[in-house]
Chain A
């Protein structure tokens, strides 16, 4: 038998699995249920089994706190973790604007991919090159939209 092929992974993969993404996957921020949540939404992707429960505490139109419970692939969980960091203390309209920018970045919009309002989320720009994984990255964002619009 031949020896294992350990040639370095191709650039598309390295850009998909950046360290910041793996860090959020392994050390998710704001994970766990939120006491006194005013909004809660559960979403899952029946095809691949990714799950998220998103909890928000909204006062006026300000997202005072946001936490999530979930399991799934690195992309969906990192996206959720980064989202909670970014949304805390933002207003609902601001949050929905970020959700739109995130969605645009997933459609391959280069301007969105360099938009500073997306913060760490810009590390997920590489997902746009993997069409079947886009729904993983957007799962927490769809939960957010459902929660505040529901």
Chain B
């Protein structure tokens, strides 16, 4: 396991006390804290490099452009993108998926076509496809999940029999921690001619991801879930697909020549980056990737998996706690543990844990169709990252026992 206590020293916010206790931050699937290296990269950018990119002829603007484009190369390298120009900076996963639905989807999906999603998709990988299908008169086919929170492969096969134009799924479920067999799903989808969109919001921070090995077509990620700043993110795409796509947003930067009534467009990826981009976000994301690369994504995955296992084991000892998602000792899962505790509502659990300085998420996790299938309105969710350790698992279990005592489950 990683030396999490030592890593915590890199994160200024984690030094703070919360309600007089050491802050135990277990809401990493929502957003992660930022190491000093990322914060200082952003500050350095504004101290030394800030100018608008791809515009100025002066040295400062050239250096700003170089910093921005170097960040693009860093993202491309970390995920083994097909090409650097196949990396489009976005505000995050949500915007990346909306870009695919709005540009690729609108140009290719027609009435009667099918788009496939799964019952464990985050709303950000569902609602854009709902909007597209409603506009086009296309069918949205939702693949069911199994009882232990995996994509139901036989239903996935049935969905593919409709010869969908697009298949979208999450690599890792944000609500359950399930690691889906993304490469296999992509291969099956390609066999019926579909284009594959992978929601990588939860996988990129936690696993070693190689998009060429996955062989998807589009891969979306969020910087803020992987130590980077909020409002940073990327769409990684096969360049030949980006070439054929119409633009998404119109404006500066994305054009080549503008006439009174029409325009020609810039090369990729700039065709998809209208307006002044979030340069500080790109620079911060590159610094976050440097931090993750130094630790090694495989070691991070192993660390989180150990914490998730320990948490599931501890929670299982508390009578009345139900853990959702794959929970076998051999199951490949990310560091997300969703649970309920008897009839104690998840919001009550979150309030009680907060008094002990423990931050967890309570709610539907932007996965209402999934919650309906689990037959719950909400769950409590603890999600771990590289700076969490077994002491945090202890704190979680201890505070849950307190919650149980307040609600009369265990003697106080």
Contact = CB atoms under 8 A, between A and B. Distances in A.
B245 interface: no
A1 B313 CA distance: 13
Given A6-B398, A50-B347, 4 more contacts: A4-B398, A17-B352, A49-B364, A49-B377
Contact of A49 (B351, B355, B363, B398): B363
B309 to A, nearest CB: 14
A10 to B, nearest CB: 6
B378 interface: yes
A71 B372 CA distance: 14
Nearest to A133: B351
B405 A136 contact: no
A29 to B, nearest CB: 17
Contacts of A22: 407-408
B268 interface: no
Contacts of B364: 49
A6 B402 contact: yes
B230 interface: no
A111 interface: no
Chain A contact residues: over half helix, strand or loop, or mixed? loop
A94 to B, nearest CB: 30
Contacts of B395: 5
Interface string A65-83: 0000001111100000000
A136 B408 CA distance: 22
Given A1-B394, A6-B405, A48-B362, A13 B347 contact: no
B363 A5 contact: no
Contacts of B355: 9-10, 12-13
Contact of A73 (B345, B398, B401, B405): B345
Contacts of B406: 9, 13-14, 17
B390 A49 contact: no
A1 B317 CA distance: 14
Contacts of B397: 4
Interface string A6-46: 11111011101100001001100000000000000000000
Contacts of B351: 13, 16, 130, 132-133
B125 interface: no
Contact of A72 (B345, B352, B371, B408): B345
Contact of A13 (B344, B352, B398): B352
Which interface residue of B345, B397, B408 has the most chain A CB atoms within 10 A? B345
A10 B357 CA distance: 13
Contacts of A12: 355
A51 to B, nearest CB: 8
A16 to B, nearest CB: 7
Nearest to A51: B377
B399 interface: yes
B412 interface: yes
A49 to B, nearest CB: 5
A5 B399 contact: yes
Contacts of B347: 48, 50, 72-73, 75, 133, 136
Contacts of B371: 49
A116 interface: no
A149 interface: no
Contacts of A136: 347
A4 B401 contact: yes
A136 B412 CA distance: 26
B345 A74 contact: yes
B44 interface: no
B401 A72 contact: no
Interface in A98-137: 130, 132-133, 136
Nearest to B393: A1
B348 interface: yes
B343 interface: yes
Interface string B335-351: 00000000111111001
B352 A49 contact: no
B127 to A, nearest CB: 13
Interface in B354-412: 355-356, 362-364, 371, 377-378, 390, 394-395, 397-399, 401-402, 405-408, 412
A16 B354 CA distance: 13
A132 B371 CA distance: 22
B377 A74 contact: no
Contact of A6 (B346, B378, B390, B401): B401
Given A6-B412, A22-B408, A47 B398 contact: no
20 contacts: A4-B394, A4-B398, A5-B356, A5-B401, A6-B412, A9-B355, A9-B405, A9-B406, A9-B412, A17-B348, A22-B407, A48-B362, A49-B371, A49-B377, A73-B345, A73-B348, A74-B344, A132-B351, A133-B347, A133-B351
